[in-house]
Chains A and B, each alone.
Chain A
Amino acid sequence: KAGVTQTPRYLIKTRGQQVTLSCSPISGHRSVSWYQQTPGQGLQFLFEYFSETQRNKGNFPGRFSGRQFSNSRSEMNVSTLELGDSALYLCASSLVPSGNTGELFFGEGSRLTVL
């Protein structure tokens, strides 16, 4: 069974640009969550999608957005990039958005560097 696939794995952008990251969940999983990992802030929740609807959102500015498609694949977009957006962006999938099973499967992440 294929795991969570994130693309691209690495990318470099400059300030002011925008970026789109993609996540394909495990087959059959309908919930996709996004997290940002930085050395200073650790792992922080960005948002969660289930059945193409955003269910929850973390404390990030509106420059961070996402969506989920009918096949459960998800994308997140960051516009007007800032240096502080440099981070590892992790996608996680689960069957349902219960939060109480621990069955949250993470991808390997997309490492974004903003110059």
Chain B
Amino acid sequence: DQQVKQNSPSLSVQEGRISILNCDYTNSMFDYFLWYKKYPAEGPTFLISISSIKDKNEDGRFTVFLNKSAKHLSLHIVPSQPGDSAVYFCAASDKAAGNKLTFGGGTRVLVKP
């Protein structure tokens, strides 16, 4: 039972353009959503998060949008840079679960120079 899904396993984008990563969830108890970035041979690193009381959160080139009614969130990277090439995971949690995060399967992003 995949409660968090990233339906696009990979994404290729030209440097300077926008990267849009999508994530869907099924558990309505989730109230906090996060995006992590992972380079090969490294652990995931936190990128950006959003609480369910918001519909948008922005941090520099990264913006996360949350559509609660559709149970959908997306990550926009503008402009994309070659150093953004990595695997991106969306994750979700609910207050009662502490640091138990439910992750999506990841989207591999390749930014071409």
Interface residues of A (CB under 8 A from B): 4, 31, 33, 35, 42-45, 48, 50, 55-56, 58, 90, 92, 94, 97-109
Contact = CB atoms under 8 A, between A and B. Distances in A.
27 contacts: A4-B43, A31-B99, A33-B99, A33-B101, A42-B103, A45-B100, A45-B101, A48-B99, A56-B100, A90-B44, A92-B43, A97-B99, A98-B98, A99-B32, A99-B94, A99-B95, A99-B98, A99-B99, A99-B101, A102-B46, A102-B49, A103-B46, A104-B46, A104-B99, A107-B43, A108-B41, A108-B43
Contacts of B42: 108
A97 B98 contact: yes
B97 interface: yes
A105 B43 CA distance: 8
Contacts of A44: 103
- Which 10 A-B residue pairs are closest in the complex by CB-CB distance? A106-B43, A97-B98, A43-B103, A102-B49, A42-B105, A99-B93, A33-B99, A56-B100, A100-B32, A45-B100
B34 interface: yes
A92 B104 contact: no
Interface string B75-113: 000000000000001010111011111111110000000
Contact-size category for B: 20 to 34
A98 to B, nearest CB: 7
Contacts of A56: 97-100
A45 B39 CA distance: 20
